[in-house]
Structure 1
Amino acid sequence: MTRPISYDECNCFALRQAARHVTQIYERHLGEVGLTAAQFTILAKLARTPNLPMVDLADAMVMERTTLVRAMKPLQRDGLVVAESAEHDGRTFLFSLTEKGETTFDQAAIAWRAAQDEFEEKFGHARAKALRSELFGITG
């Protein structure tokens, strides 16, 4: 007989629970500018790296392409992101922020900073930095 699962020993449960809690902080702040936390991270990546092919964006976001396509639709619909065919290959789409997307990202960055500050005030700056390092170590 298998022994019962103890959730206080489950890494996946702990990570998902913490992720939901932290995401709620960011969503509350980013919601003021009409973005979700996932949308903000996409805009942030495109702000740093314009003309990014879908495959590279999906890899950077650690997302399946189909999931990313669903996430991109509202950003494109709202005129924040544009997809243009690559010159060398018409099947490859390059994603960039529009002017409206850049303005929205600038506003969202202020909301993000407020969320970041709230989290670090509750959790501690040094602990937050160490936590980021550990978490990026998992995916890096």
Structure 2
Amino acid sequence: MLPEPPELAPPACNCLALRQAARQVTQIYDRHLAPTGLRATQFSVLARLGRVGPAPISALAAGLAMDRTTLGRALRPLSRDGLLRIGPGRDGRTRALHLTEAGRARLDAAAPLWRAAQAEFEAGFGTAEAAALREALGRAAVAAASTPEPAPAFS
């Protein structure tokens, strides 16, 4: 069962509405993943590396729709804990992130907890609604990514 949401007025701002929802949903996943010592963002990084294999930091950041600085903050504890390592990339000039055996083991331990978080959210929101939400958010991400940046207002 989902916890009682705080009293939130529906915001007129799309960004605020998305961020409020993201924070609330992230709390569900963080709570479920806590026994593994992973946060939802870190789980996403390990899961992506587990799916695609070694990847350059810039490619991983793009695939997760994160800027490199934010990804860097998520990588530090994962590297410190031996869950991933930075090693050679496809050529001698690049570096790539590699999931370690410890990282694979942590990811495997976290997967059923992630599925429990997924089930909790879907139980409260609805399975079909959750699928429609993921589809709509995917379209929103594509639309936002294809919007040209405005010229700076200040010089």
> Under a length normalisation based on structure 2, what TM-score does the superposition of the two structures give?
0.82
Q: Residues 9-33 of structure 1, C-alpha deviation per residue, up to 9 Å, x if partnerless?
A: 2211211111111000000001111
Superposition deviation, residue 87 in structure 1: 5.2
Say yes or no: does 1:132 pair with 2:134.
yes
**2:55–2:89: 8 Å Cα contact kept in structure 1?**
no
Q: 2:17 — aligned with what?
A: 14
**Partner SS, residue 89 of structure 1:** coil
Superposition deviation, residue 8 in structure 1: 2.9
Identity of paired residues, percent? 50
Mapped to 2, the partners of 1:127 and 1:7 lie a distance apart of: 18
**Partner SS, residue 8 of structure 1:** coil
Q: 2:85 — aligned with what?
A: 82
RMSD, matched Cα: 1.4
Structure-to-structure mapping, 1:39-54, within 5 angstroms: 39-54=42-57
Q: 1:34 — aligned with what?
A: 37
Mapped to 2, the partners of 1:66 and 1:56 lie a distance apart of: 13
Which aligned runs of 4 or more in structure 1 are off by greater than 4 angstroms? none
Q: 2:121 — aligned with what?
A: 119
Mapped to 1, the partners of 2:98 and 2:90 lie a distance apart of: 15
Q: Residues 85-133 of structure 1, C-alpha deviation per residue, up to 9 Å, x if partnerless?
A: 225233x211121001001001111110000000000000000000000
Runs of at least 5 residues in structure 1 that lack an aligned partner in the other structure:
1-5
Mapped to 1, the partners of 2:110 and 2:54 lie a distance apart of: 21
2:70 to 45, 67, 72: 67
Mapped to 2, the partners of 1:134 and 1:87 lie a distance apart of: 35
Runs of at least 5 residues in structure 2 that lack an aligned partner in the other structure:
1-8, 143-155
Q: 2:28 — aligned with what?
A: 25
Say yes or no: does 1:98 pair with 2:126.
no
